[in-house]
Amino acid sequence: MSINDIYDEVIKKDGGLGMDLERVRASLVQLGCQIPTTGIDETYSIDLKNIIELAQNEEVESVVLKRYGREAYRIFRLLSKSGRLLETDKISDTTFVEKKDTLKILYKLWKDGYLHMEKVSVNGPKQTLFLLWEVDKESLWVRVLDEMYHAALNLRLRITYEQDQEKEILQLPTEKLVGELEKRYKRLRKVRIILESSLMNLDDALMLFHDF
């Protein structure tokens, strides 16, 4: 689709009149569109494969952040983006994480299946052992998908359990839900909203890894 056609559509939308061509181009780049050589026939197309890969990376990075903390997130993100083996000192220097902490985090991520490790011995006056690390996305994505299936199952089981625990309340007419019964009903409703919302988000993530 040509940049002029895209721009014509953008300015028809609310807030679109305030955008110039450079802002439209910048937005297209953020959306993962293939970047053409600017010229008379400047056209853009959606690189769906790249968009999906970016979304998958962000999903796994968010899991690492929640589970292991910000330093682990920085380390994992570096390795994920590099796409190659990196040595421990290089990782520590690039992420500004102390070497002893870097090694501890790397071992934890490796033990939990988030990283691949290789040991390389270098002969010299004395033998030196280097530890190299990388993200093996093909195997990790399979692992992440399996974890998501288990998490989704646990959420569904929890929803069923909560409803079974309060099934007599669910059968009562609204006018009889007073006092302690009303409190229990409100608690159940709140728990269900949280669990079902989490399940919906997880279903979206499952689709991202299962269907693509």
Let me know: does 132 contact 140? Beta carbons within 8 Å: no
Output the pLDDT for position 178: 92
Output the pLDDT for position 212: 66
Radius of gyration of the CA atoms of the chain, in A: 25
Fold adopted by 50-135: Arc Repressor Mutant, subunit A (1.10.10)
The pLDDT tens digits for 165-194 are 999 999 999 899 999 999 999 999 999 999
To the nearest whole percent, how much of the chain has pLDDT over 90? 64
Task: Give domain limits for the chain.
Answer: 3-46, 50-135, 138-210
Helix or strand or coil: residue 128? strand
Buried b (16+ CB within 10 A) or exposed e, 19-42: eeeeebbeebeeebbeeeeeeeee
The pLDDT tens digits for 96-145 are 999 999 999 999 999 999 999 999 988 877 888 899 999 999 999 999 99
- Please state, in angstroms and rounded to a whole number, the distance separating the CA atoms of residues 184 and 152: 25
Distance from first CA to last CA of the chain, Å, rounded?
Answer: 25
Cβ-proximal residues to 95 (8 Å cutoff; 6+ apart), any chain: 71, 74, 75, 78, 102
